Amino acid sequence: MEKILREALLKAVKSQGVEISSLEIEVPKEEGFGDLSTPVAMGLAKTLKKPPRKIAEDIVNSIENKVIFEKIDIAGSGFINFTFSKKYLCDELKELIKKQDDFLTEDIGKGKRVQIEFVSANPTGPLHLGHGRGAALGAALSNLLIEAGYDIEKEYYINDAGRQVKLLGMSVFAKYKQLLGKDYPFLEDGYKGDYIEDLAREFMKIRGYGDAENKDSLLEEITDFAYKKMLDEIKKDLEDFGVFFDSWQSERELYTLPISPHYKEGEWGGEIQKSEIENSIDELKNRGYIYEKDGAVWFKSTAFGDDKDRVVIKKEGDYTYFAPDIAYHRRKLKKGYDEIIDIWGADHHGYVPRMQSVFQALGYPRGHLRVLLVQMVTLLREGKPVQMSKRAGEFITLREVIDEIGADTIKFLFLTRRPDSHLEIDIEVAKAQSSENPVYYVQYAHARINSIFEKAKESSWLMAHGSWIDFNGELFNDEEMRIVKKLLLYPMIFKNAALAHEPHRITFYLQELAGMFHPYYHKYRVVSEDIELTKSRLALCAAIMIVLKHGLKILSVKAPERM
């Protein structure tokens, strides 16, 4: 629907010498205002120096393919309201059933390469709920953009260098010493939780119970063991959550010198004897954005609107956290992605301007990096906050929630709101098999429709009466036509969700569609002795099933056949 309307309107406006790059089309809140509406005439009034109502009349008069509309009205000061004909809507429904996913999606990406980096939690402890929300968003956004024609790479950035990993090693080291019976103090800011002792005991099984003479060597050994074990656990949790990555990028590699015999000088824009971090700082220096002050090395981010310049090398000679991040994003740029998307926790919002400043300093537009921020999640049980996890010590782990609620349910719930808004999830509601549980409500709609077709097969109705694809749309009542219109809106919802990078729009839509189907299911009998009516209702149910399945696929949520 949107495609035909867009083409018609663009053609009409161009005839008046105006180019429109985007067109606002909306679904009226009141059914009496038609199926789709556009305020384009009001937006063009200043440019065309005409009253918006006159522009609206000109647009309507220039639309050639009016046969698809039952009526076109001009309302208020220039809104154009379109009501489609029943025949057109039913013909489109037949196309949906015939083409399925090809009808529902549009190739807006045209093969553009996009990298999406998400989760990227420090391998210093189990994943928590916030990480899970970022994982659900990253996976759904990847699926959405792949369906929209983009070439997507999903990456996890492993923060396996720096203070946090060292702190993990020191925490496990202290617990290991204590298990050996040594009076060894535990770090005040060390990592807590049962998993630290679990790591120490597991290391003890491998290493034995003897104490090492060289403390530094033992600490390094424990640190390497501990973070790799935690990374393996993170990978397992993500796999069980249904989230997979194309690449895992180590931060440590950015500090090391290139050693591959196939390495070519200048491959990353630097010299072979320097690390990627050094090469990155050198490039920024050559571009005039690195300077020294008070014994430290600074990046001139204020040149691009940041509130202050940022230190990349401390006066003591150590890199700040910002230095490897510069190198990591420079590495992304060298791979030639058309867009780079990072999904971060909301507490990193202040980091966005400085990172975008790096892109500008390296010669790329600020918008080449898009950062999506994810707010934390509050877990409730019957309305009361859930206590902290004993295993993690400070938070509820994603694994605990997967085990109690299920991966599909928690993914869907994570995507019921904008990622930058706070989210509360009640465990008991999430486990309930009722309309209060949104994912159950949507999945149950799919399962119910599948059961309708199973019963039709069992009763030999399909064998006796043949295909329902040639259904008679004139038999649809008003309630059924409202569902038809909702189904045909999916391509527009899909396209807008992809353009806005907002997969939660799909979640909202699925809930609304399920909310229309369930009352219909209770009110009308689909398979009956009336052959033509049965065909029409089976066709409607088949279309609902197709759309539900596609939407759930984007969210990485199963579309069950039985529940």
Is 40 in contact with 9 (CB distance < 8 Å)?
yes
**Do 113-377+403-420 and 435-554 have matching folds?**
no
* Closest by Cα among 213, 218, 223 to 165: 223
Q: What is the SS3 assignment for 279?
A: helix
- What the block records as the tokens of 385 is 């906050």
Q: What is the spatial distance between Cα 453 and Cα 245, in angstroms, rounded to a whole number?
A: 36
Is 105 in contact with 494 (CB distance < 8 Å)?
yes
Classify domain 435-554 by CATH number.
1.10.730.10
CATH topology of domain 2-84: Gyrase A; domain 2 (3.30.1360)
Residue with tokens 């040639």: 470
Strands in 36-187 per DSSP E: 36-38, 69-75, 79-84, 113-117, 151-158
* Whether residue 267 has pLDDT greater than 60: no
Q: What is the spatial distance between Cα 225 and Cα 206, in angstroms, rounded to a whole number?
A: 10
Mean pLDDT within 133-148: 98
Residue ranges of domains in the chain: 2-84, 113-377+403-420, 435-554
Q: What is the DSSP letter of 33?
A: G
Query: What are the tens digits of pLDDT across the range 456-499?
Result: 887 776 666 657 778 899 999 999 999 999 999 999 999 999 99
Query: What are the tens digits of pLDDT across the range 496-543?
Result: 999 999 999 999 999 999 999 999 999 999 998 888 999 999 999 999
- What the block records as the tokens of 19 is 């180019």
Neighbours of 558 (CB within 10 A): 17
What pLDDT sits at residue 243? 97
One-letter amino acid at 135 equals A
398: Cβ–Cβ under 8 A, 6 or more apart, which residues?
126, 127, 128, 129, 131, 132, 135, 237, 241
* Closest by Cα among 290, 371, 300, 274 to 329: 371
State the chain's mean pLDDT as an integer. 90
Q: What is the SS3 assignment for 378?
A: strand
Neighbours of 4 (CB within 10 A): 16
Query: What are the tens digits of pLDDT across the range 329-338?
Result: 999 999 999 9
Q: What is the spatial distance between Cα 389 and Cα 406, in angstroms, rounded to a whole number?
A: 18
Is 226 in contact with 164 (CB distance < 8 Å)?
no
Phi and psi of 373, rounded to 5°?
-100, 140
Phi and psi of 152, rounded to 5°?
-105, 135
CATH value of 113-377+403-420 in 3.40.50.620, 2.70.150.10, 3.30.420.40, 3.60.110.10: 3.40.50.620
- What the block records as the tokens of 285 is 């220096």
One-letter amino acid at 235 equals K
Mean pLDDT within 250-277: 68
